[in-house]
Structure 1
Amino acid sequence: MTQSGETDRLRVVFWGAGRLGRAVLQSILKSKAAEVAAVVTKPDKPAGRHRKLRACPVKEFATASRLEVFTPRNPCEIEEQLRRIGPDLGVVADYGSYLPAAVVELPHLGTINVHPSLLPRYRGAAPVQWALANGEKETGISILFVTPEMDAGDIILQERMPIDDDDDAVSLSEKLAHQAAGAIERVLNDFARGKVAAVPQDHSKATFAPRLTKEQGRIDWRRPAIEIRNRIRGFQPWPGCYCYPHGPRGPLLHIRSAAVVPFSGAPGEVVDINREGPAIAAGEGAVRLLKVQPAGRRVMTGWEYVLGHHVAKGDRWE
């Protein structure tokens, strides 16, 4: 620890990459209980139409804040550098890769993780997305000690948050990032005062949120309409939910926003059209397409799509 007035400040090594990680890092920088000794994040990756190298949100912020930044392809590459830094605590938030024991155990107070779910539910890489896809009404933030088993460590703090009906993965992730920023500040204060208490998880109640694949975004019209809508909410912006209005050899259509409506018909059949957009029959009920995005095009309303693509009642979509 380093001296700051009358209190000792924790030397923190931060591991993160995405927007939630950036929010947590910003909070640590403002904390009177801690200082950021180093930031470990991901190497730049090609992005956009022209595949130019782009830094992740954490690297952009850390570089602008003139923090010491490491971008190893393997965390073990920087073990000796971290050992020389001598951190008191490791904080992981939205890093996206497994950390070996050698770096987890290096800080003398251990390493903690900020996870966007109410553990032990939704352990894994995509907890926000799967909570929405499964129609959950509540989620939250868990801060826990990192252990060899994924997201299975003792819980230091947990805060709940309702999921609104109009939330998707983008909006809910933003809310959780804000919640995480406040939560990490309280936990750092507890560490600085030596008053951290942790509770073991009930592993018998664990559920999992595996990393998403593109194939999981394809809409199966045989599912109930509410399940389809929940997947549309949960799988934004990637992989997105998509279908084939003109058959599997035609261009795909991404569904960005939808509502459940009380129509019936054969799964995949266009059963109604109004100025909100077309309604497609599901295994139970139907799905009104409010916002869509044809491949290579802009996002448009369902009604704009109808006008430009000759959609008619009785059409069958796949």
Structure 2
Amino acid sequence: MRIVFAGTPEFARQALDALLAAGHDIPLVLTQPDRPAGRGLKLMPSAVKQAALQASVPVLQPHSLRLDGKYPEEAAAARQALLDAEPDVMVVAAYGLILPRWVLDLPRHGCLNIHASLLPRWRGAAPIQRAIDAGDAETGITIMQMDVGLDTGDMLLALPLPIGPLHTAASLHDDLAALGAQAIVEALQKLEGGTLQGAKQDEALATYAAKLEKSEAPLDFSQPAQVLARRVRAFNPFPGATMTLPGLDAPVKIWQALALPQAAACRPGEVESASAEGIDVATAQGVLRITELQKAGGKRQAAATFIQGWQPQ
């Protein structure tokens, strides 16, 4: 099929690579403008832009697609480029820009979104992290027909994925990126064959995956250990779960932790013990064992290494 692709990060790059490998004609890629990154804040192209240029696919990077917005000239140029591309369909994956109605209506088959949850659960910005944080047993990929709402369009294809006890947001992201690439290729095969059917979402089952905020990072030890262990996995790598340890002025970032079923011997938030196995902290229910952490401005360390240079008061 003739596809315009819109996406930005690594999650989207895998889908673009899969579509190219499947032999689809992609005359145009839309991605976010280059952003400053690294210590030198050098402008860096997105993962999707890098993949598109490597495949010799033209790339457009408008700041907005709103014809009546802050960048009307960029939006008008994008509209003309889309008209010239004559797409059968637009595939969208973590693009980062709102698609106005004129974009949604332009392709012959509309716009298909690769969404990292089993809709209608976890609509919104952070479905991967919120699924882990909530203790969901599974998540998955939904290929959705886009409309003007926030992830409210008809579901076209859904592929489930179990959430394992060791999944972090980073590792689950990688698994879902691979599954999303598989799902969009399968969906387009069905679309070509005329067998892709949509199903309405049940609004009563909808939940919202709010954007992650740094203010959520501090762990609340009045919660059970199992809840806190999930929060650590959900916030790895960003924004990172944090806590303040005795003897340290700045909070430490918790990279890995596990919940112990044993009863806490101290008040919630107090350190019970520190050994090569980990730093055990009392919670409202059970003990949270921290096994990997990082001082502010320091490197990630296993607890066994960390405690060698830590002198709690």
TM bracket, shorter-chain basis:
over 0.9
Q: How does 1:114-133 map to 2 (within 5 A)?
A: 114-133=114-133
2:9 corresponding residue in structure 1: 18
Which residue of 2 is the match for residue 6 of structure 1? none
Q: For residue 259 of structure 2, what is the aligned residue in structure 1?
A: 260
Instruction: Answer with 159-168 or 43-52: which moved more.
Output: 43-52
How many Å separate the matches in 2 of 1:99 and 1:114?
Answer: 14
Give deviations 1:91-117, integer Å, cap 9, x for gaps. Answer: 011112321111111101110100010
Equivalent residue runs for 1:228-239 within 5 Å: 228-239=228-239
Q: Which residue of 1 aligns with 2:90?
A: 90
Q: Is the 8 A contact 2:275 2:307 kept in 1?
A: no
Deviation at 1:196, TM superposition (A): 1.7
Q: State the distance in 1 between where 2:62 and 2:188 align.
A: 26
Q: What's the counterpart of residue 270 of structure 1?
A: 271
Alignment correspondent of 1:4? none
**CA–CA distance in structure 2, aligned partners of residues 97 and 290 of structure 1:** 38
Structure 1: runs of 5+ lacking an equivalent: 1-9
Q: 2:288 is paired with a residue of what secondary structure?
A: strand
Question: Within 1, Cα distance between the matches of 2:234 and 2:65?
Answer: 30
Deviation at 1:49, TM superposition (A): 2.0
The residue number in structure 2 matching 1:155 is 155
Cα distance in 2, alignment partners of residues 246 and 47 from structure 1: 34
Question: Which residue in 1 is equivalent to 2:70?
Answer: none
Q: Is the 8 A contact 1:269 1:281 kept in 2?
A: yes
CA contact (8 A) 1:12 1:91 kept: yes
Q: Distance in 1 between matches of 2:295 and 2:301?
A: 8
**Equivalence for 2:307:** 306
Shift of 1:270: 0.4
Q: How many aligned residue pairs are there?
A: 301
Task: Specify the code of the residue in structure 2 equivalent to 1:205.
Answer: L
Alignment-derived partner of residue 55 in structure 1:
45
CA distance in 2, matches of 1:224, 1:97: 38
3-state SS of the aligned residue for 2:181? helix
User: 1:294: how far off?
Assistant: 0.9
CA contact (8 A) 1:263 1:271 kept: no
- Unaligned 5+ runs, structure 2: 67-74
RMSD: 1.4
State the match for 1:67 in structure 2: 57
Aligned to 1:5: none
Deviations 1:183-214 (A, max 9, x none): 11111111222222111111110001011111
Conserved in 2, the CA contact under 8 Å of 1:276 and 1:301?
A: no
Which AA in structure 1 matches 2:168? D
Cα distance in 2 between the residues matched to 1:290 and 1:106: 52
1:40 to 8, 30, 33: 30
Give the TM-score taking structure 1 as reference length. 0.91
Structure 2 equivalent of residue 143 of structure 1? 143
Supply the AA of the counterpart residue of 1:239: P
1:191 aligns with 2:191: yes
- Aligned partner of 2:21 in structure 1 is 30
Aligned residue for 1:75, secondary structure, equals coil
In structure 1, what is the equivalent of residue 171 of structure 2?
171
State the distance in 2 between where 1:48 and 1:250 align: 26
SS in 1 for 2:254: strand
Letter paired with 2:250:
P
Mapping of residues 237-252 of structure 1, within 5 Å: 237-246=237-246, 250-252=249-251
Note the C-alpha offset of 1:266. Answer: 0.9
Query: What's the CA shift for 1:12?
Result: 0.6
Judge conservation of contact 2:111–2:145 (CA < 8 Å) in 1.
Answer: yes
In structure 2, relative to structure 1, the CA distance for the partners of 1:85 and 1:227 (3 Å cut) is same
1:225: Cα distance to partner? 1.0
Report deviation, 1:263. Answer: 4.1
Partner of 2:308, secondary structure, is: helix
Contact 1:132 1:233 in 2 (8 A): yes
- Offset at residue 246 of structure 1 (A): 4.2
Could you tell me how far apart the structure 1 residues matched to 2:216 and 2:304 are?
26
**2:170 aligned with 1:180:** no
Alignment correspondent of 1:288: 289
